[in-house]
Amino acid sequence: MQGSKLVAGLAVATALLLPSAAQAKTTLVEVEETSHAVLHKLEALGLDVTYEGDERTELMLHGPEDEQILAGTGYAYKVLIEDMDGANDAYLDKEEVHQARAERGIAPLSTLPTGRVAYRTLTDVNAELQQLATTYPDRVKLFTLSKPTLLGKTIYGVEVSHDVATAGAKPSFLLSGAHHAREWPTVEFTLEFIWDLLLNDKAGDDASALLEKGKLIAVPVVNPDGYDLSRSLQNEQKRKNCRITAGVIPTLADCTLAANVNRGIDLNRNYLPFWGGPGSSSSATASNTRGEAPASEPEIQGMIDLLNKSNVTVAINNHTPDQRLLRAPSSSNEPDVVADEVAYEALLQRLSKNLPGWAAGPWTDVYYEASSTAEQQAYYAYGAFGFTPEATPGFSGTQTFHPPYQNVIDNYLGTGTRYANQTMRGLYYDAFAAATEADKHSVLTGTAPAGTTLTLSKSTLLDSSSLVWTTGQPAEVRAFPNTIAQSITVPASGKFEWHVNPSGRPSQYNATHLDEAYDLVCSAPDGTVLERTTLKIKRGEVANRSLCTTGTVGGTVPATLSLTLGAPATFGAFVPGLAAEYDASTKADVISTAGSATLSVSDPDTANTGKLVNGAFALAQPLRAAASSPAAGAGSALTPVTTNTPLLTWTAPVSNDPATVAFKQAIGAGDPLRTGTYSKTLTFTLSTTNP
């Protein structure tokens, strides 16, 4: 049901102020060849094929490099428009005047959720996203991607859900626009769908049910630098970002220089899986330039970071204008039959009912080849189902990628003669619904203490295509790391339901799933890890876990220091007139519950301390003692016995540790000895200062 209209009170932005620079022209040409083989060759050469028909093929030539490449093919062509710059100014100006009148309440609104009648500028988009977050704080959360653009622009997005601040466990539907700068309708569709959900969020409506069960993640402009240049008509047919030289941050002047008009990176050839493969080019001026390495561009680094922390289960990556609905595989080096073929194809057919008459299938079946695309990232990195609609078809020349705005209105709603029943709105509603359906992803349920944090993480490797990385070296596949880390906070109820993608990703090489597991960590609010385990879960499965659940059992230990001495130590007979060392020992069994304990010996005799005595007679030399045990090891060296002589120390509790106490007595050759028995009663003490 269509919601009420909303006119955003935003002024039409002025043209982007740029350094003065000569602008290179873009020329539209027609090639008479139309065979599939020729189209693939033109694409492989990096030429900007903009229209494929039964009788002709149109190309945009962005400078002399493209002209030389096309001439080298030998295909005959004719020039349709020598210089496309300014060809759309008249209808665009008219639309913007109409939009300004609509905002003042003078002109009638359109039937879009917002009533718009003209394309948004980048300034409009960013202001509108902030307006949404301010107007609907409980349902819209504004965020920025982790990386700004090459020219330093912030890339904004929004999350939309009921109780959006606590919606992290819900399954997410990702909707993105303007990977390619000149494809303006993709921005409009994304923003209109956000408003559509919010304006129709009423009890009993589909929008309300979707926002209750799931979360929309929307990034209307993935390529702000390129979109700003295209939308402000500084380089209207720009497709790529502003990268001029690998590894070098450009300036705005660099990006608008005539010599650089067709340089940049195709952001939809810069994701990780299969990077460098068919349908991407290393040429700096090709329309499908892939970049110097996987995720070399900050815009794509930001999108991957977003995906790694978000449980996106279905993704739609909007494009124009080729009247198709595409899914993986998108290149010939992928499996012809993917691991989730049945489920993936069934969802494609379900979604395609919103676009009757449009070709629907894998890129490789119904389109040209492309490598390191958004679909490949979604599917091979996360097991999420990714799709590309090629919308607002039927136009050529200067209007190919952004036709007059009425076509945005009609294609969004499925109205008018050209797009009757071909509804992007219906596509998005169905895709969002599919994202929330548990049989298309996985679910982790269970209990954990309220306020604890649950984290699912997994570090994996994604393979490039096989290509030559170093001149003169053989082609090889290289693996690139990707780390998923997603967290939720357990609610006050202590119960959670977390919608995630399967733990085993689809193989990049055959119709199987990899045997992978998530690391599952439960942490206290202060970050203390309470439990660490693993989770293996398949698509359609529900796993139930009780996490961080503690119970107590125990008993008490009384303070104990126990010392039991063995038989008395005896030296035997001392021989008068002979210098000798005599040895004796005894055992002492030790039990201690203290943190540390010390065994010591003392002689309480104040007259002959530390000496053996025989009545009134005492030995000339002192008695020496030492001790050792298995738990405490060796104590100090033999030491004369005094009124308090430490022998051995335990640094932890022990039970029944058998200590040996050794004695040594020296007798000199001239030492007098009295007939009888020499002895001494000593006191042994087990003590602690750390009970």
Question: What does the pLDDT read at residue 50?
Answer: 87
**Of 43 and 72, the one with more pLDDT:** 72
Residue 90: partners with Cβ closer than 8 Å, 6 or more residues away: none
DSSP secondary structure code for residue 642 in this structure: -
Question: What does the pLDDT read at residue 37?
Answer: 82
- Locate 341 and state its tokens: 């073929």
* Interatomic CA distance for residues 428 and 422, integer angstroms: 12
Judge contact between 65 and 376, C-beta under 8 A. Answer: no
DSSP secondary structure code for residue 467 in this structure: B
User: Using 50, 70 and 90 to split pLDDT, how confident is the model at 7?
Assistant: very low
* Interatomic CA distance for residues 566 and 588, integer angstroms: 6
Query: First-to-last CA distance in the chain?
Result: 76
* Interatomic CA distance for residues 123 and 445, integer angstroms: 42
- On the question of a cis peptide bond just before residue 108, with omega within 30 degrees of 0, the verdict is no
Question: What does the pLDDT read at residue 32?
Answer: 85
From start to end of 296-426, where are the E strands? 312-317, 324-327, 359-362, 385-390
- Looking at residues 65-89, what average pLDDT do you find? 90
CB atoms within 10 A of CB 21: 17
Question: What does the pLDDT read at residue 23?
Answer: 52
Each residue's pLDDT tens digit, 572-627: 999 999 999 999 999 999 999 999 999 999 999 999 999 999 999 999 999 999 99
Question: What does the pLDDT read at residue 603?
Answer: 95
- Looking at residues 418-433, what average pLDDT do you find? 98
* Interatomic CA distance for residues 260 and 253, integer angstroms: 10
Question: What does the pLDDT read at residue 616?
Answer: 93
Considering the entire predicted model, what is its pTM? Answer: 0.80
* Interatomic CA distance for residues 587 and 440, integer angstroms: 73
User: Using 50, 70 and 90 to split pLDDT, how confident is the model at 24?
Assistant: low
| Residue labelled with tokens 């500028």 | 121
**Of 454 and 262, the one with more pLDDT:** 454
The pLDDT of residue 473 is above 70: yes
The pLDDT of residue 16 is above 70: no
The pLDDT of residue 9 is above 50: no
* Enclosing H/E stretch for 29: strand 27-31
The pLDDT of residue 11 is above 60: no
User: Percent of the chain at pLDDT above 70?
Assistant: 97
Tally of CA atoms within 13 A in the half-sphere of 306 that contains its CB = 32
* Interatomic CA distance for residues 576 and 597, integer angstroms: 40
Judge contact between 272 and 377, C-beta under 8 A. Answer: yes
The pLDDT of residue 36 is above 80: no
Largest CA distance in the chain: 135
Each residue's pLDDT tens digit, 125-155: 999 999 999 999 999 999 999 999 999 999 9
- Comparing 37-51, 97-111, 318-332, 361-375, the range with the smallest average pLDDT is 37-51
Question: What does the pLDDT read at residue 429?
Answer: 98
Highest mean pLDDT among 20-29, 505-514, 546-555: 505-514
* Enclosing H/E stretch for 408: helix 406-413
Judge contact between 43 and 368, C-beta under 8 A. Answer: yes
* Interatomic CA distance for residues 50 and 642, integer angstroms: 103
User: Using 50, 70 and 90 to split pLDDT, how confident is the model at 18?
Assistant: very low
User: Percent of the chain at pLDDT above 90?
Assistant: 86
**Of 7 and 295, the one with more pLDDT:** 295
| Residue labelled with tokens 């700004």 | 148
Q: For the chain, what is the mean pLDDT?
A: 93
Residue 68: partners with Cβ closer than 8 Å, 6 or more residues away: none
